[in-house]
Amino acid sequence: MYPSVRGRCSCSRPRIPHSPQRQANTVGLVVERRRLPSEIDCLRYYVENSTDVLFERWFPCKDLGTQLVPVIKEFFSSEQYRTGKPSKDEPLRQPPFQLNGMHVMKPFVFREWVEKHHPELAGGRPVNVFGAQFETETALYGPGETEKSRHDTDIWIWQLEGSSQVTMDGQPFSLSARDSLLIPGQSEYQWQRSEGCVALYVRQNPERKSAYF
């Protein structure tokens, strides 16, 4: 278990069971990866103090906010919840992919990481936050310009320091510190970043998607 406190961030690896515990009166930012129609998710409960599966449901996930609630309600009204034991009438299915055995990333202080990379950003070179092995591309950008581009997937820009201007489908958007902008897939955009700019760029890149193993 890794506690994530204010100002820390991490990237969840694919195919690793995880259970984020959010405390009352806290706010966190989660960027979910878009699922393909062929992919499915699993909500799973375990027998107390063990790794034995108590209850699980597999489903194609399009909207976590609406799809999880019915499954959670089903669990709390189930025999498994009442007895704390798996049901013989509901044999567990074979997972459609092999679970990932790599270590979970330990959360790090994002602000300290950004400050460490200020020299590279000031030189106009973007810095990859989590590496190039994930489908979700996360990078910091400093001063410079991104020429007219168009991608199939959405892009999210979060202005951390300084300012920048995005022209999207001919419409200009000025970003100051703490502003954010969503660029829908298939939109043409151009991004001009002023001196002192530090911005977080998040985009799904299906070309970097790893096959199940």
197 in any annotated domain: yes
> pLDDT category, 213, cuts 50, 70, 90?
very low
> 165-169 contacts: CB < 8 A, separation 24 or more?
165/191, 165/192, 166/190, 166/191, 166/192, 167/191, 167/192
pLDDT in tens, 133-172: 777 889 999 999 999 999 988 999 999 999 999 999 999 9
Q: Per the structure, how many domains does the chain have?
A: 1
172 in any annotated domain: yes
Candidates 20, 29, 164; CA nearest to 104 is 20
Share the mean pLDDT of the chain. Answer: 86
158 in any annotated domain: yes
| CA 203-16-9 angle, 5° bins | 50
- C-alpha 91: how far from its chain's center? 31
15 in any annotated domain: no
Q: So what's the pLDDT on residue 209?
A: 65
Element containing residue 199 per DSSP (H, E): strand 198-204
Flag whether pLDDT at 204 surpasses 60: yes
24 in any annotated domain: no
The CATH number of the domain holding residue 169 is 2.60.120.10
3-state secondary structure 111-140: HHHHHHCHHHHHCCCCEECCCCCCCEEEEE
122 in any annotated domain: yes
Mean pLDDT of 59-86: 91
pLDDT cut 90: percent of the chain above it:
51
Q: So what's the pLDDT on residue 166?
A: 98
Phi, psi of 14, rounded to the nearest 5 degrees:
-75, 150
pLDDT in tens, 85-120: 999 888 888 887 777 666 677 888 899 999 999 999
148 in any annotated domain: yes
Query: What are the DSSP calls for 73-101, one per residue?
Result: HHHHTSHHHHHSS--TTSPPPPPSSPPP-
100 in any annotated domain: no
> pLDDT category, 41, cuts 50, 70, 90?
confident
> pLDDT category, 207, cuts 50, 70, 90?
low
pLDDT in tens, 174-183: 999 999 999 9
> pLDDT category, 206, cuts 50, 70, 90?
low
**Which residue range is the domain that position 179 belongs to?**
108-208
| CA 192-181-197 angle, 5° bins | 40
Candidates 130, 127, 131; CA nearest to 115 is 127
Please report, for residues 18, 61, 97, 205, the alpha-carbon distance to residue 39 in angstroms, rounded to integers and kept in the order given. Answer: 17, 8, 10, 16
Flag whether pLDDT at 78 surpasses 90: yes
| Contact of 173 with 181, CB cutoff 8 Å | yes
Q: Which pair of tokens denotes residue 131?
A: 């590496």
